[in-house]
Amino acid sequence: MCYDMKEPREEPMSYLERLEVIEFIVTEVNRETQGDFEEDMLRDQLETWTDMEVETEGRCYGWM
């Protein structure tokens, strides 16, 4: 569990930025699990999350 102490951004994420963060999260989870997960299922799940959830999860994995 990761807690994000930064203030939420005022403007929504752009579509491309959102895709970059999702791809980053999928790559980091793949690295941690050594490829032992269903990548497409994770990507589909992340695409249903709100911008704030995606951004928070990305920061937890080290996205700046």
Task: Tell me the pLDDT tens digit for each residue of 1-53.
Answer: 565 556 666 778 899 999 999 999 999 999 888 877 788 899 999 999 999 99
pTM comes to 0.80
pLDDT at 27: 93
1 alpha-carbon distance from chain centroid? 13
Distance of alpha carbon 62 from alpha carbon 64, whole angstroms:
6
Of 46, 55, 48, 50, the closest CA to residue 8 belongs to: 55
CA distances from 62 to 28, 32, 34 (A): 9, 13, 18
Of 8, 40, 5, the closest CA to residue 54 belongs to: 8
